[in-house]
Amino acid sequence: MSSIKVKIKEKDLNTIKEICKSFDNKPGELINVLHKTQEKFGYLPAEVQEIVAKELNMSVAKVYGVVTFYSFFTMTPKGKFPISICTGTACYVRGADNVLQEFKRQLEIEVGETTDDGKFSLSCLRCVGACGLAPVVLVGDKTYGRVSPEGVKEILEEYKEI
Amino acid sequence: MNKVKLTIDDKQIEVEQGTTIYKAAKELGIEIPTLCYMNLEGLNIENKPGGCRICVVEVEGRNNLAPSCSTNVWDGMVVNTHSMRVINARRTVMEFILSDHPKDCLTCPKSGSCELQDMATKLGIREIPGQEYAEMSTYKTDFSPSIIRDLDKCIMCRRCEMMCNEFQTVGALSAFHRGFESAVGPAFEMDLEHSSCTYCGQCVAVCPTGALTEKDHTRDVINALSDPTKKVIVQTAPAVRAALGEEFGMEAGTLVTGKMVSALRRLGFDYVFDTDFAADLTIMEEGTELLDRITKYLGGDKEVKLPMLTSCCPAWVSFFEHHFPEMKDIPSTARSPQQMFGSIAKTYFADKISTKREDLIVVSIMPCLAKKYEAQRDEFKVDDNPDVDFSISTRELAHLIKEANLDLNILPDEDFDKPLGESSGAGVIFGTTGGVIEAAVRTAYELHTGKKLEKLDFEQLRGFEAIRKATVDFDGTPINIGIAHGLGNARKLLEEIKEGKSEFHAIEIMSCPGGCIGGGGQPLHHSDSSILKARSEAIYREDAGKPIRKSHENPYIIKLYEEFLGKPMSEKAHHLLHTAYFDKSKKIEMS
Amino acid sequence: MTKYKTHLLVCGGTGCRASASDDIVENLKQELENKGLQDEVQVVMTGCFGFCEKGPIVKVSPDNTFYTQVKPEDVTEIIEEHIIKGRQVTRLLYKDPKKKETVADSKHMDFYKKQIRIALRNCGFIDPENLDEYIARDGYMALGKCLSEMSPKDVVDQIKESGLRGRGGGGFPTGLKWEIAAKNEADQKYVVCNADEGDPGAFMDRSILEGDPHAVLEAMAICAYSMGATKGLIYIRAEYPLAIKRLIIAIDQAREYGLLGKEILGTDFEFDIELRYGAGAFVCGEETSLIHSMEGLRGEPTIKPPYPAEKGYLGKPTNVNNVETYANIPIIINKGANWFNKIGTEKAKGTKVFALAGKINNVGLIEVPMGTTLREVIFEIGGGIKDGKKFKAVQTGGPSGGCLTEKHLDTPIDFDNLIAVGSMMGSGGMIVMDEDDCMVSMAKFYLEFTVEESCGKCSPCRIGNKRLHEVLEKITGGKGEMEDIQRLRNMSNVIKDTSLCGLGQTSPNPILSTLDNFYDEYLDHINDKKCHAGQCKDLMTYFVIEENCVGCTACARVCPVGAIAGEKKQSHFIDPSICIKCGACEERCKFDAIIVK
Amino acid sequence: MAKIKTLADLKKMREDLQSKVDLREKADSPESYVQIKVGMATSGIASGAKDVMDFMIEALEKRNVEAVVTQTGDMGYCFAEPTIEVKKPGEDPIVFGYVNIQKADEIIEKYIKLGELVEGIIPVNYQVIDDK
């Protein structure tokens, strides 16, 4: 059996190494490292986790265990316009689920997936604190308040041309 | 230590402060059922996540039920382990666990020795309410060369994770995902083959269910035995004879060497041989290599690598190949006894019985799962024909024997066949921690000093302590010896070597708790460490009863060198009995 | 120093920012400059005013005018009319829905009348990014008082005497917690702030961090002094970018002023704070999970004891309190325990911040004295139910709490009272539901949350909650049987009784409380296969009322699955076996000919 | 920014900074302070109301009078501009006309501080400004 190879671009490798170094390569800083890394790459693919594990001198199984434990970390690239639907209780009682269903229907993807053209991805999050605007939808950093299922199409239209 | 008094099920007991309810109850003879809790006493191996919640008990004054495995007693505590509240809770929790567990007990490899199955029986579970609409968590099954992982059967006891990370420090396994989807496995849920797994099999040894089992080769063995064109020979590792009896209801530590031979012969093996023979051969090679290195070192050679590390344990070999590749030239180059046997069998012995290599099938009975992987390593093949065709575990052998309608209890004692069945007591003790080095010392001492050893039992090398150190006087030359069992302990010694702080000339390493007697292929100890101790004692008993107790005095070893190999470390010996190691650490490649 | 005559306070909480309050600030500054008033009028972006329903809020000081739902384009008018001409812009004032008249200043609004702002005292008042404003409001005076006039033990005693209890959910006496941490000797101790607010519908902690970050830093320093710690960690949700930004600014400023670091205020007291980010795991609100998460591990809880006060972060004594708890500390030190313990009830002192949301008129963040009744909160502060509907239930305590009904409305809110009626205080989420909310679905919603957030370590929580959810699915799907109720109860009780941490120990509460308070609703679902709130799609059937149908075919055309058939100008009918209950036909029909049953 | 070295430094700093936010604090309970409203419609500004307002704010602070000075629109007394309305806690408001800096000074010293009447009061058959 030959040894396992991890393929990665040199530039990316150095980026990850730098991030790890900025946290003194301490295994205890794993979550901070993952945050920074995901910020850089948009997601945490296997090879990135391999490098992080190596740099922090910990097992990649543990890294994977942490990545999959926290919902903030993702191993799939997000869409160009990540759509997050707040499914906090306030939004729920004001009909967030119907809004979510409508997004799913229109985009033909499930939560956690990205459209084939890479444009939109769908996720749920818990309470963004804009309960006065419930139900709330985020597209990237932009917040849409008091969204109804009928309004979904309109929101998507805004981004379709971009 | 302060003592505290408490009441469990109306019985009074006084125990040391810091004792758990579980342990206190045990002292009273109350066995509180658990699934995740595991304690190998004396080996410093404890799994106490408090996760299964089967062991809950009622404690007066506490709102909810307490997990007895991880709740400490206090003075005046009143515990009830069987109130209806407890019984209902325990049963409901068990129903939860079973509702997410496949019901294919009939064909499950663990059936009959499954702790979950036993628990279901004990708690009288007849049906799982709501099973018809209960979703089950499913995962893909992993078929590695040694270990099968069927995570559908994982109950998240975390024992394997603890063994892999804390005891072995291999880090191949971790819990992943969370909640209902969580299970334990390698990174990215890949197969073990793509991980740093050493196949030590300790995860299998502790798994309470059928989630982790050995890759079964009994069907291959049956096929081989049914093929009239093949000669099928078998070798049995030293630790097998000290544990096989347990599968047939015998007390732990019962030696069944003769009965085992007799069973194997009845199963139809053409020759029944002993890996102990190859262990003697290993001592000849490894002992000579050690002496060679020490002599060079004492002669001022700065290049020579010391300490020398043993290399009989395939999980240990994988461990340094994965985790310490920079040190791969430190261990002895001697192959493991299993592989030495295969190599000699398919050359020397095949010639003797005038059988072509491809018509000779070598089967090994091993206490070990890593041996399955070792047997199929490329270095141990000639024209794609492996030196050892199939390696089966003690448990698999027990299945074969039972399948053949044989009762080990009433089989007569028989002797191994010659020539590869003869062994010394030194070969036998390979099965327990400290044994390899003791065997090596017996031979190396006599070869080095030319004197006869007065006392063959080196008590200071024996025992279950994690890391042991001893100095043996080689007639004026003090030889420092280190022994570690468990890869976590081995890691400590390796780190010392890496830092240049090691004081040792030779180090023996075995991956499993207690050595091979505690291997991943042995009958399950169900977290009773006294079983391991009994096996170890049995091994030393077998040694003590042997007429020959030093490898170099084994007449068939002497004969093998005379007829075939020449002398230890000869070119032929090198070719057939030694190997090289490979860097298996992860490589980062730029793209 | 410029002396401003007028201050314009603009809410910079996440909710108001979502409605472009930063554009409002920009526009205000621009417009003031255009008019040459930049030295007369100061624009301050503050933390949350609380009245999120009516956000974005712009408050004018000193004449105390409270503008609501301000849009960036309203800015010109505010400057032109109010600032220059001194005339209030009436159309932006709050209209009291009961009296139908405008109220210009917040003090006279029902929303604010019954509130006492202690933890939120600086939110909506100061610029959270400006330490000077915090200092002007007695900031760090409490720390100064502790360091110069009080021994660590005095501090612990003050907090004990104040009766302050943890605001994160459990209600454990804060002073006692500090005392234990103080008594455990170690070479290193830690002060941790739990800002991993995970309750889906609660945003108190975030608002405090966004509006008054220094209060938390100061309190942590005080705690550190009392227990002998030198390091502080704030574990904050990564989903709170604004709070993180303001905390980082605050920490930097405090360091710059020497209020964090070595030799604080000339004493030998040393303390500094670092941030640790959560990554989306509700269970990390549990303190042992939180600690493991800070150590870079999976956020799984471990059995207590040992408590964090003995063995916490990196095995050292650690005190963990949540944001709101800390926010109470400086003012307690400044005004004294006796001032604080006069507020509230016998067993619960002080105030509690609630995130009021759901079917209520005044959604927002409120702070009321302990002992305020649910009725006061919902009908006075909250302004009653939206759209004139009927109040049905109020959910407190989030996924760990329960649904309370009409009969509980006069319960004075405190830790023990809420537990006594089958709910709990929790971190302070308060969701109001009306007649259109199905309580079985509500329980299902929470269970879905717990199933998703269970860490998986212990079997009752990992599997049991899943099974509870499945039974609720079955009931809301029209397949419920009476024995399911017994199963729900038994499983719920066992999960509570056997789970490892607080998550599982409370997760069945939404089921148990709805079973207790809305039993008939379960029966309707199970026996009559009806959901009267009209939320359970599987229990609904769409009908055409023949008399009303004119055969316009509009419904048939809009139906996405072709479930509606009928000739033109003749009554149509819906095939229930094809209908997916999307409701499109009902919406399209102009003749009220389609109804749901 | 130099580090704050002592509690006394911090206290001093607080005193200095308090004026930055006292405007807001007073806004929360204006009835407990002297409330002064300066008519600041276009005609008021033209007649010097702004200078009067600046003066009052400064003077009141210097003389330690806790007061809230706000501007308001046209008071309806264009003839008497600049006009100011003064309301002392618990008393009825009084409107002064033709207020210049000198007059303002007098209002502070005599009416506000001592409660003595000052010339220039506009007869009170009017409503409180807020009621309009």
Q: pLDDT (tens digit, 9 = 90+) per residue, B42-56?
A: 888 999 999 999 999
Beta bridge partners of A125: A86
**Which positions in chain C touch D27 (Cβ < 8 Å)?**
61-64
CB–CB contact B53 C498 (8 Å):
yes
pLDDT of residue C370: 95
Domain boundary (C528, C556, C575) is at C528
pLDDT of residue A141: 80
pLDDT in tens, B272-303: 999 999 999 999 999 999 999 988 988 888 88
3-class secondary-structure state, position C412: strand
Top residue of C314, C366, C535, C582 to mutate, by most chain A CBs within 10 Å, is C582
Q: What is the CA radius of gyration of chain C?
A: 27
Structure tokens belonging to residue B95:
């129903």
Residue D42, pLDDT above cutoff 70: no
Q: What is the CA radius of gyration of chain D?
A: 17
The C-alpha atoms of residue B563 and residue A84 are separated, in whole angstroms, by 78
User: Is position D94 within any domain?
Assistant: yes
**For C257-376, where are the alpha helices, taking DSSP H only?**
287-294, 323-335, 337-340, 374-375
Question: Residue C140 region, left (φ>0) first, then alpha (ψ -120 to 50), else beta?
Answer: left
Domains and CATH numbers, chain B: 3-82 (3.10.20.740), 98-215 (3.30.70.20), 272-357+400-577 (3.40.950.10)
Structure tokens belonging to residue B565:
């190999």
Sign of CA dihedral A5, A9, A12, A14: positive
Residue D129, pLDDT above cutoff 50: no
- Whether residues C397 and C293 share a domain: the answer is no
3-class secondary-structure state, position B10: coil
The C-alpha atoms of residue C309 and residue C166 are separated, in whole angstroms, by 15
From B97-111, B295-309, C389-403, the region with the lowest mean pLDDT? B295-309
For D42, the closest chain C residue by CA position comes to C85
User: Is position C222 within any domain?
Assistant: yes
Domain boundary (C410, C434, C458) is at C434
CB–CB contact A50 B193 (8 Å):
no
Nearest to A93 among C293, C431, C455 (CB): C431
User: Is position C369 within any domain?
Assistant: yes
Sign of CA dihedral B236, B237, B241, B243: negative
Residue pair B233/B166 in contact by the 8 Å Cβ criterion: no
Structure tokens belonging to residue C379:
């009908």
- Neighbour-count burial for D97-108, b at 16+ CB within 10 Å, e otherwise: bebeeebbebbb
Domain boundary (C72, C87, C113) is at C113
Angle at the Cα of C277 from the Cα atoms of C275 and C280, rounded to 5 degrees: 155
For A55, the closest chain B residue by CA position comes to B588
Beta bridge partners of C94: C103
Instruction: Estimate to the nearest angstrom the gap between the alpha carbon of C592 and the chain centroid.
Output: 40
User: Is position C126 within any domain?
Assistant: no
Q: What is the CATH number of the domain that holds C144?
A: 3.40.50.11540
- Whether residues C52 and C105 share a domain: the answer is yes
Could you count the other beta carbons within 10 Å of the beta carbon of residue C570?
12
Residue pair C448/C539 in contact by the 8 Å Cβ criterion: no
The C-alpha atoms of residue B205 and residue B159 are separated, in whole angstroms, by 10
- Whether residues C506 and C368 share a domain: the answer is no
Q: Is the pTM of this model over 0.90?
A: yes
pLDDT of residue A1: 42
Residue type, C480: G
D77: confidence class by pLDDT, cuts 50, 70, 90: low
- Give B314 to chain A, closest Cα distance, Å: 14
Expressed as residue numbers, the domain containing D127 is 33-131
Domain total of chain D: 1
pLDDT of residue C2: 59
Look at A109 and D123; give whichever has higher pLDDT: A109
The dihedral formed by the CA atoms of B174, B175, B176 and B179, expressed in degrees to the nearest 10: 180
pLDDT of residue B162: 97
The C-alpha atoms of residue B274 and residue B292 are separated, in whole angstroms, by 28
**Which positions in chain B touch C303 (Cβ < 8 Å)?**
50, 67, 70-71
Residue pair C192/C320 in contact by the 8 Å Cβ criterion: yes
What residues contact C68, with CB distance under 8 A and at least 6 apart?
C51, C54, C55, C57, C92, C93, C94
Average pLDDT value for chain B: 95
**Can you tell me the mean pLDDT for D15-29?**
81
CB–CB contact C459 B64 (8 Å):
no
pLDDT in tens, C459-503: 999 999 999 999 999 999 999 999 999 999 999 999 999 999 999
**Which positions in chain C touch A26 (Cβ < 8 Å)?**
296
Q: Does domain A81-160 have CATH number 3.40.30.10?
A: yes
- Whether residues C419 and C548 share a domain: the answer is no
Average pLDDT value for chain C: 92
Neighbours of chain B (3+ CB pairs under 8 A): A, C
Nearest to A65 among B174, B378, B582 (CB): B174
Q: What is the CATH number of the domain that holds D55?
A: 3.40.30.10
**Which positions in chain D touch C104 (Cβ < 8 Å)?**
130
**Can you tell me the mean pLDDT for C125-131?**
93
Neighbours of chain C (3+ CB pairs under 8 A): A, B, D
The C-alpha atoms of residue A35 and residue A38 are separated, in whole angstroms, by 5
- Whether residues C410 and C458 share a domain: the answer is no
- Whether residues C479 and C562 share a domain: the answer is no
**Can you tell me the mean pLDDT for C149-177?**
94
Expressed as residue numbers, the domain containing C23 is 6-113
CB–CB contact B176 A68 (8 Å):
yes
User: Is position D23 within any domain?
Assistant: no
Residue pair C563/C575 in contact by the 8 Å Cβ criterion: yes
- Phi and psi torsions of C425, nearest 5°: -70, -45
pLDDT of residue D127: 46
For C481, the closest chain B residue by CA position comes to B130
For A11, the closest chain B residue by CA position comes to B590
**Which positions in chain C touch B177 (Cβ < 8 Å)?**
456
pLDDT of residue B104: 94
From A52-66, B85-99, B140-154, C46-60, the region with the lowest mean pLDDT? C46-60
pLDDT in tens, C209-255: 999 999 999 999 999 999 999 999 999 988 888 899 999 999 999 99
Residue B391, pLDDT above cutoff 90: yes
**Can you tell me the mean pLDDT for B301-316?**
92
Residue pair C466/C238 in contact by the 8 Å Cβ criterion: no
Domain residue ranges in chain A = 10-69, 81-160
Q: A77: cis peptide before it, omega within 30°?
A: no
CB–CB contact A65 B176 (8 Å):
yes
Residues of B recognised as catalytic: 286, 289, 312, 332, 371, 374, 379, 516
- Give A87 to chain B, closest Cα distance, Å: 19
Structure tokens belonging to residue C568:
């033109």
Q: What percent of chain C has pLDDT over 90?
A: 70
- Whether residues C283 and C385 share a domain: the answer is no
- Whether residues C191 and C331 share a domain: the answer is yes
- How far CA D11 is from CA of B524, C139, C373, D3, in Å, comes to 72, 10, 40, 14
Look at B10 and D85; give whichever has higher pLDDT: B10
Place of tokens 């499945």: C470
Chain C contact for B132 (CB, 8 A cutoff): no
**Can you tell me the mean pLDDT for B32-49?**
93
Structure tokens belonging to residue D52:
């009067």
pLDDT of residue D52: 82
**Which positions in chain C touch D72 (Cβ < 8 Å)?**
63, 86
- Whether residues C424 and C398 share a domain: the answer is yes
- Count the alpha carbons within 13 Å of C16 in the hemisphere toward its beta carbon: 35
The C-alpha atoms of residue C560 and residue C537 are separated, in whole angstroms, by 16
- Phi and psi torsions of C356, nearest 5°: -90, 125
- How far CA A43 is from CA of A40, A47, B463, in Å, comes to 8, 11, 50
pLDDT of residue C209: 94
Q: For B381-528, list the strands marked E by DSSP.
A: 381-382, 385-386, 390-393, 467-474, 477-485, 506-510
Neighbours of chain A (3+ CB pairs under 8 A): B, C
Residue B518, pLDDT above cutoff 70: yes
From B128-132, B190-194, C94-98, C464-468, the region with the lowest mean pLDDT? C94-98
Residue pair C412/C462 in contact by the 8 Å Cβ criterion: no
D131: confidence class by pLDDT, cuts 50, 70, 90: very low
Domain total of chain C: 5
Chain C contact for D78 (CB, 8 A cutoff): no
D1: confidence class by pLDDT, cuts 50, 70, 90: low
The C-alpha atoms of residue C213 and residue C130 are separated, in whole angstroms, by 10
Nearest to A61 among B178, B195, B588 (CB): B195
- Give A126 to chain C, closest Cα distance, Å: 5
- Give A93 to chain C, closest Cα distance, Å: 6
Residue pair B370/B200 in contact by the 8 Å Cβ criterion: yes
- Whether residues C271 and C310 share a domain: the answer is yes
User: Is position C345 within any domain?
Assistant: no
D107: confidence class by pLDDT, cuts 50, 70, 90: confident
Instruction: Estimate to the nearest angstrom the gap between the alpha carbon of B419 and the chain centroid.
Output: 27
- Neighbour-count burial for B81-112, b at 16+ CB within 10 Å, e otherwise: beeebbeebbebbbbbbbbbbbeeeeebbbee
pLDDT of residue C445: 93
- Give B441 to chain A, closest Cα distance, Å: 34
User: Is position D24 within any domain?
Assistant: no
Helix (H) or strand (E) holding D80: none
Could you count the other beta carbons within 10 Å of the beta carbon of residue C164?
26
D78: confidence class by pLDDT, cuts 50, 70, 90: low
Across A84-93, B430-439, C573-582, D60-69, the highest mean pLDDT is recorded for B430-439
The C-alpha atoms of residue C76 and residue C93 are separated, in whole angstroms, by 16
Chain B contact for C459 (CB, 8 A cutoff): yes
Q: Could you tell me whether strands A120-125 and B477-485 are parallel, antiparallel, or unpaired per DSSP bridges?
A: unpaired
Q: For C33-85, list the strands marked E by DSSP.
A: 41-46, 58-61, 65-67
What residues contact C135, with CB distance under 8 A and at least 6 apart?
D10, D13, D14, D17
pLDDT of residue C1: 46
Residue D128, pLDDT above cutoff 80: no
- Whether residues C203 and C236 share a domain: the answer is yes
D76: confidence class by pLDDT, cuts 50, 70, 90: low
